[in-house]
A and B are shown apart, each in its own frame.
Chain A
Amino acid sequence: KNEVEQSPQNLTAQEGEFITINCSYSVGISALHWLQQHPGGGIVSLFMLSSGKKKHGRLIATINIQEKHSSLHITASHPRDSAVYICAVQWHSGGYQKVTFGTGTKLQVIP
């Protein structure tokens, strides 16, 4: 079983601040996903990573395979970034791909 831990669980930031959300996992993976869950419940895939770094607008995701750790950064945060951010890892078990999700980081950005 792959244990996935996210930190912090809750985060409040002022508009414009630089935000970092962390994700650690216990077993080697084939890919890591960052997801965004809006207050209404809908879930959107932000990134899928297997190595290195990806950038999309103000969002940057990095992964360190050796340290089993990924970070999601938000630059110049805005109230519309308020959401729950979920880390999910894909990993092999018994010849199959499994997915394990973190419990999420609830971000609130205050104007």
Chain B
Amino acid sequence: EAQVTQNPRYLITVTGKKLTVTCSQNMNHEYMSWYRQDPGLGLRQIYYSMNVEVTDKGDVPEGYKVSRKEKRNFPLILESPSPNQTSLYFCASSLSQGWIVSGANVLTFGAGSRLTVL
């Protein structure tokens, strides 16, 4: 089944304890992206990657790191989490960044990871 898999789905941690949220897709998609969703603010892009070894900042990158060493994986790293990073996080992928507009080029989302930083 074509899907984007995120882990963990739920996590409670404490300020300063490094954590990684993994994201993996099995669709050979080039484009992958991380978003956070907060009440009243909607989804906001943290980082995105157009292909292996190519990453760039989104709208709210502060406090986060990413890497894209393999096409299928795009982990989100919080080196020193703080309470303002408490949020619902989504990973998504698509065939390409959107330069080619076609019916196949839609965003496929992971199920979400709810993170609480105490």
A103 contacts the other chain (Cβ, under 8 Å)? yes
Nearest residue (CB) in A for B109 is A43
Are B98 and A42 in contact, with the CB atoms below 8 A? no
| Residues of A contacting B103 in the complex (Cβ-Cβ under 8 angstroms) | 48
Q: Decide yes or no whether A88 CB sits under 8 A from chain B.
A: yes
- The answer, yes or no, to whether A109 is at the interface (CB within 8 Å) is no
Query: What is the predominant secondary structure among interface residues of chain A facing chain B?
Result: strand
> Which residue in chain A gives the minimum CB-CB distance to B114?
A41
Which A-chain residue is minimally distant from B104 (CB atoms)? A48
Interface residues of B in 48-106 (CB under 8 A from A): 56, 58-59, 88, 90, 92, 97-99, 101, 103, 105-106
A101–B111 contact, CB under 8 A? no
- Complex contact B56–A45 (CB within 8 A): no
| A102 touching B42, Cβ below 8 Å | yes
B98: A residues at CB distance < 8 A: 30-31, 90, 97
Contacts of A97 in B (CB 8 A): 97-99
Query: A30-B98, A86-B42, A86-B43 given as contacts; is B112 within 8 A of A42 (CB)?
Result: yes
Chain B residues with CB under 8 A of A102: 42
A residues neighboring B (CB under 8 Å): 30-31, 33, 35, 41-45, 48, 50, 86, 88, 90, 96-104
24 contacts between A and B (CB under 8 A): A30-B101, A35-B109, A41-B111, A41-B112, A41-B114, A42-B111, A43-B90, A43-B109, A43-B112, A45-B106, A45-B107, A45-B108, A86-B42, A86-B43, A88-B107, A90-B98, A97-B97, A97-B98, A99-B33, A99-B45, A101-B35, A101-B42, A101-B44, A104-B42
Interface residues in chain B, defined as those with a beta carbon under 8 Å from any beta carbon in chain A: 33, 35, 40-45, 56, 58-59, 88, 90, 92, 97-99, 101, 103, 105-109, 111-112, 114
